[in-house]
Amino acid sequence: MTVTDETTNEGNSAETVAGRRRIAKILLILFAVFIVVVQVATFVSRAKTASADAAPEHYRDAGWWAGHDFIEIDAQVLAVTPAAATESVRLTVVPHGRYAKNGGELAQTINLDADGYAGGTITLRSGEIPPPVLLSLDLSGDLSQYPLDRYTANMTINLRPVVNGERAETPVPTSLSVVSVKHDWKTGSKLLQTTNREISVQLTAERGAATIGFAFFEMLVMLFLAIIAVAITYAAIVSPKPLEFSLFVWLGAMLFALPAIRGTMPGVPGIGTMADFGVFFWCLFAVASCLIVAAITYVRTSLRAHRELPGT
């Protein structure tokens, strides 16, 4: 090889290295921009969800009339627990007009019937400020559809005055407002039925955009890691160089890393969801297969080399 050829090869090598560095810089810049965009989108999404949750949805019974004599019930969604199929709601009763005294106490005893109350009938005593009432509503939904699972729960509110110790049939003008403090969930409500006796609403809940986005991002990370494991294992096997033991250490660590990544997905339930059957199980299978194939190749190569040694 002449000096000119050596100089040309060195120039080509330098150009190749420089090209790789430029590509690496571009990829790093694009990744940094992607992280910034995702962070901004996350904060915007949570801010929108919080703003929507803070705006109460109002419902009134069919016997409502414009006036100052009514009882207001504020329903606040405290928790959505798909694993237990329950939704926790706190009711705050606020009397107005002739139903209230100056200090906010009830002017007369009121009977409150509400779905999800474990203690049965609720009696709000006259002369007392009504205590908050905690409801545990039954959720309807499919947890296995995580992270695209959606849920509904029905809630019925019924107020009746208590006269001479007996529950009267006289309707009480009622106003119901629904708000939420669970900003990682996108909650809502819609009217099912209203009469001059009760208000029935359906509460809805689905995971927020930020939660869904991060769940899919982590599924994408698992998928990329599995593809990288397959590519590196294939390159190591077809290479004329002997397999290094560090490959087995790395693949073994990947088998433990994938469940750890899966466990950090926001609000992730137990094993068996759509995310598991769609991504996690297949990624785990791919990495385990790479480890097994690499081990078999390593053993066969070692045995062949041992048989080819002189004197064996």
The HSE-up count of residue 46 (CA atoms within 13 Å, CB side) is 13
**What pLDDT tens digit does each residue of the chain (312 aa) get?**
554 555 555 556 677 777 778 887 887 787 777 777 766 766 666 666 665 655 678 888 766 665 678 889 999 999 999 989 999 999 999 998 888 888 788 988 899 888 888 766 788 888 888 999 999 999 999 999 999 999 999 999 988 888 877 888 887 888 899 988 877 888 889 998 888 778 999 999 999 888 888 899 899 999 999 999 999 999 988 888 888 888 889 999 999 999 999 999 988 888 889 999 999 999 999 999 999 999 988 888 877 776 776 655
Tokens standing for residue 6: 């050596």
Which DSSP letter does residue 243 get? P
**Among 273, 88, 266, which Cα is nearest to 187's?**
88
Show me where the domains of the chain are located.
1-54, 56-206, 208-312
Could you report the per-residue pLDDT of 237-273, keeping only the tens digit for each?
A: 888 888 888 888 999 999 999 999 999 998 888 888 9
**Among 158, 71, 154, which Cα is nearest to 112's?**
158
pTM of the model: 0.77
pLDDT given for residue 82 in this prediction: 92
pLDDT given for residue 292 in this prediction: 92
Helix (H, G, I), strand (E, B) or coil at 82: helix
**Opening angle at CA 269, ends 266 and 272, nearest 5:** 125
**Among 142, 153, 225, 160, which Cα is nearest to 182's?**
153
Place of tokens 């033991």: 245
